[in-house]
Amino acid sequence: MLCALIDCIRFYSRLPIPVFAFEKKPHGLPDFPRIVQMLPLASVIITLPATLVLWVADLFWPPIITATLTLITILLSTGAFHEDGLADVADGLGGGQTVARRLEIMTDSRIGTYGGASLVLSLLLRSTVLADLIESSGATESALLVLAIAPLSRMAGLMPLMLLANAKPDGKAAAVGRPEGTTYLATLAFALLLADALLWWAGWDVATMLIVWPIGFAAVVPLMLMARRLIGGQTGDIAGAAQQIAEMVFLLTLSACAN
């Protein structure tokens, strides 16, 4: 389990994790069906630096600057892992006219107009909504909200992997494999418990949790339907875009409930 946690942190972040003597393949492709069970805990660990920045920055600057610094820390911690998927999906699905061309665009490392616009709008939305939460709920409560969203948004990001075929049989998403359905459901239950505990600590009631989480997961469904229609299934970029959509909707829903 410790190896799975370490591999999961390495896969989803750029945090400097040392190589331990008990690791067999520290730099190899991870056994994704094995490491996914530690994703909720890894997500919280990856997000901890950003929440620390949020709490400290709130002592010196207004909410919008605090929220921006928090997002910068998240991008540094993750290497813009999910944002890259969002931009690639926006470029590919928005600019390609055939399945082959859409997949080709998504593989291209260059960013286009659709991708650039999606990144700007995503960061703008997340920073302003987070600033609103900081202003209405306070720094400590907002930090707990950011921690709560981290595991569930990543679990939402796995929905395309679980429910759609691989659009590219030789792609990275196909290479890492997919977890068993029972493993995913058990991990999702763990993520829900962890997120609910953090929200409860922040002073939110159970009724709010029952509203917020389903809306975030449901928001991923339109992307999945579009991916199945336009490229025949899912890729790693689709998973990254799904995480971003879920994160934005979670923030929006929590902000609406807070106000």
Q: 46 is written with which tokens?
A: 């990856």
Instruction: Give the Å distances, CA to CA, from 95 to 160, 182, 241.
Output: 21, 37, 16
Tell me: pLDDT of 28 over 80: no
Half-sphere exposure of residue 195, counting CA atoms within 13 Å on the CB side?
29
What string of H, E and C letters represents the secondary structure of 41-106?
Answer: HHHHHHHHHHHHHHHHHCCCCCHHHHHHHHHHHHHHHHCCHHHHHHHHHHHHHHHCCCHHHHHHHH
pLDDT for the residue 209: 83
Q: Return the percentage of the chain with pLDDT > 70, whole number.
A: 96
The alpha-carbon radius of gyration of the chain (Å, integer) is: 18
151 against 17, higher pLDDT: 151
3-state secondary structure of 167: coil
Average pLDDT of span 142-165: 96
Helix axes 221-231, 81-95, angle to 10 degrees: 50
Q: Does position 31 have pLDDT exceeding 80, yes or no? A: no
Tens digit of pLDDT for each residue in 161-220?
A: 999 999 987 766 666 678 888 999 999 999 999 999 999 998 888 788 888 999 999 999
Considering the chain, what is the average pLDDT of its residues? Answer: 92
Share of the chain above pLDDT 90, in %: 77
C-alpha count within 13 angstroms, C-beta hemisphere, residue 218 = 7
Q: What is the C-alpha separation between 201 and 144, in angstroms, rounded?
A: 8
> Among positive and negative, which fits the CA dihedral 128, 50, 236, 165?
negative
The pTM (predicted TM-score) of the whole model is 0.94
**3-class DSSP state of 195:** helix
**Count of C-beta atoms within a 10 Å radius of residue 4:** 18
Crossing angle (nearest 10°) for helices 63-78 and 39-57: 140
Tell me, what DSSP letter sits at residue 178?
A: -
User: What's the gap between Cα 13 and its chain centre?
Assistant: 11
Handedness of CA 41, 44, 47, 52 (dihedral sign): negative
Q: Which of 192, 161, 150 is nearest to 32 (CA)?
A: 161
